[in-house]
C-alpha cells in the first residue's frame, strides 16, 4: 500500500545536464523530513524533456541513493505502449518499488485502447502499478469502469493518482474498489477533500519545499482528525495556489532555487517565470518563513 505523503520530485539540471549531486541531496532531504515515498520522472520531474537514457539513469540513481530508506516510484508512462513497457521493465530491473503510468496523452485512445495499453504493461512487468489520471494534460480520462476492469484482472494494478476536481469520481473509485486500492490525490489543494472520501494520500508538488507540513496533513487525515487537518490545509492553501501561478513545475523548481536546493534551470519548451510572478511567489514563501538564499 502506498499512502501518506509522496513527493513529485523535481529533476535538477546544471548546464544542460541532470545534476545528480543536487538530486541526491533532494532525496536525503525527504528521507530526513519523513516523506513516505518519492516519485521521480513524473510531470514535476520534467520527464517529457528527459532522454530515454536520462530517464533510466535518474530512476536507477534514485533507487541506489535511497538505499531502502524511502520508497521510490518511477514515472514510466508513455503515449506508445511499447515505450511504457520498456520504461516500466527498466524500473523493475533496477529495484523501484512501483511505477506510475500516466494515461497516454495526445493520441486520445478509447477506453478499450486504455484497457489494452495498461494490460500490456501489467502482463509484461510484475511491479506495483499506479495509474495516473490527469485529463487536463492527456486529453482523455480513464473511466472508473476501465479502472475496475484492470484491477479485477491484474493484482499489480494497486492504485491511481487522480488529478481531477470531480469528487463523485473519487467516491465511486473508493466505493467500488475498496481499501485495498490506493487512491492518491494529484493536486495539493484537493488532498484533504479526497482523503475525506477515502483517498490514502497525495503525490505532492508542495512537498518539494514543505515536506513536514504535507506529511502532517496526510497523517492527520489518515487518523481521521479532519478538524486539525482542515486547519493545516487552509493554512497551506496560499502556497498550493502560488505553486500553480504558472505551469508546473516552473514555480516549484523556482521555489527550490530560491531555497538553494537546485539551479533555476529548465529545458525548452519550459522557461523561467515572469518576473512579476516570481516576485509573487517569493512573497508567499517569505510569508511561510521559508529560508530563502536566492
Q: Tell me the three cell numbers of residue 42.
A: 513524473
For 147-169, what is the mean pLDDT? Answer: 98
Correct CATH for 4-223 of 1.10.1740.10, 3.40.470.10, 3.20.20.70, 3.10.105.10: 3.20.20.70
Tell me how far apart the alpha carbons of residues 115 and 79 are, in angstroms, rounded to a whole number. Answer: 13
To which H or E segment does residue 42 belong? Answer: none
pLDDT in tens, 56-106: 999 999 999 999 999 999 999 999 999 999 999 999 999 999 999 999 999
Residue 161 clears pLDDT 90, i.e. is over it: yes
Please provide the average confidence, as pLDDT, over all residues in the chain. Answer: 97
Residue 262 clears pLDDT 90, i.e. is over it: yes
Residue from 92, 161, 215, 253 carrying the catalytic annotation:
161
For 115-120, what is the mean pLDDT? Answer: 98
Instruction: Based on the residue annotation, tell me whether 161 is a catalytic residue of this protein.
Output: yes
Please, where are the H alpha helices in 11-163? Answer: 20-32, 52-66, 81-94, 111-124, 135-138, 144-153
Q: Pick the closest to residue 252 from 34, 45, 23 (CA basis).
A: 45
pLDDT in tens, 229-238: 999 999 999 9
Q: Domain coordinates of the chain in residue numbers?
A: 4-223
Residue from 132, 200, 215, 253 carrying the catalytic annotation:
132
pLDDT value of residue 137? 94
Q: Tell me the three cell numbers of residue 195.
A: 482523503
Q: Pick the closest to residue 38 from 13, 63, 1 (CA basis).
A: 63
Q: Tell me the three cell numbers of residue 62.
A: 534514485
pLDDT in tens, 46-64: 999 999 999 999 999 999 9
Instruction: Based on the residue annotation, tell me whether 154 is a catalytic residue of this protein.
Output: no
Tell me how far apart the alpha carbons of residues 80 and 225 are, in angstroms, rounded to a whole number. Answer: 42
Count of helices and strands (H, E) across the chain: 12, 10
Amino acid at each position: 500500500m502506498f499512502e501518506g505523503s509522496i513527493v513529485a520530485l523535481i529533476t535538477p539540471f546544471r548546464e544542460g545536464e541532470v545534476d545528480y549531486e543536487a538530486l541526491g541531496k533532494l532525496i536525503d532531504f525527504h528521507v530526513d523530513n519523513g516523506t513516505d515515498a518519492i516519485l521521480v520522472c513524473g510531470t514535476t520531474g520534467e520527464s517529457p524533456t528527459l532522454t530515454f537514457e536520462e530517464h533510466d539513469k535518474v530512476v536507477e540513481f534514485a533507487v541506489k541513493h535511497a538505499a531502502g530508506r524511502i520508497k521510490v516510484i518511477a514515472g514510466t508512462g508513455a503515449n506508445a505502449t511499447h515505450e511504457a513497457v520498456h520504461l516500466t521493465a527498466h524500473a523493475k530491473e533496477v529495484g523501484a518499488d512501483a511505477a506510475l503510468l500516466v494515461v497516454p496523452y495526445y493520441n486520445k485512445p478509447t477506453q478499450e485502447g486504455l484497457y489494452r495499453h495498461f494490460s500490456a504493461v501489467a502482463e509484461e512487468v510484475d511491479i506495483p502499478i499506479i495509474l495516473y489520471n490527469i485529463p487536463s494534460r492527456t486529453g482523455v480520462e480513464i473511466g472508473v469502469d476501465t479502472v475496475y476492469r484492470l484491477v479485477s484482472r491484474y493484482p499489480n494494478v494497486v492504485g491511481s493518482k487522480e488529478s481531477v476536481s470531480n469528487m463523485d469520481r473519487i467516491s465511486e473509485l473508493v466505493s467500488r474498489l475498496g481499501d485495498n486500492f490506493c487512491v492518491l490525490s494529484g493536486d495539493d489543494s484537493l488532498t484533504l477533500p479526497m482523503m475525506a472520501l477515502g483517498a490514502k494520500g497525495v503525490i505532492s508538488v508542495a512537498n518539494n519545499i514543505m515536506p513536514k507540513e504535507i506529511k502532517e496533513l496526510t497523517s492527520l487525515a489518515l487518523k481521521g482528525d479532519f478538524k486539525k487537518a482542515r486547519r493545516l490545509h487552509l493554512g497551506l492553501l496560499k502556497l498550493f495556489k502560488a505553486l500553480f501561478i504558472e505551469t508546473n513545475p516552473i514555480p516549484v523548481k523556482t521555489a527550490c532555487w530560491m531555497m538553494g536546493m537546485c539551479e533555476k534551470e529548465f529545458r525548452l519548451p519550459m522557461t523561467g517565470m515572469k518576473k512579476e510572478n516570481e516576485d509573487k511567489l517569493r512573497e508567499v514563501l517569505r510569508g511561510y518563513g521559508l529560508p530563502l538564499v536566492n
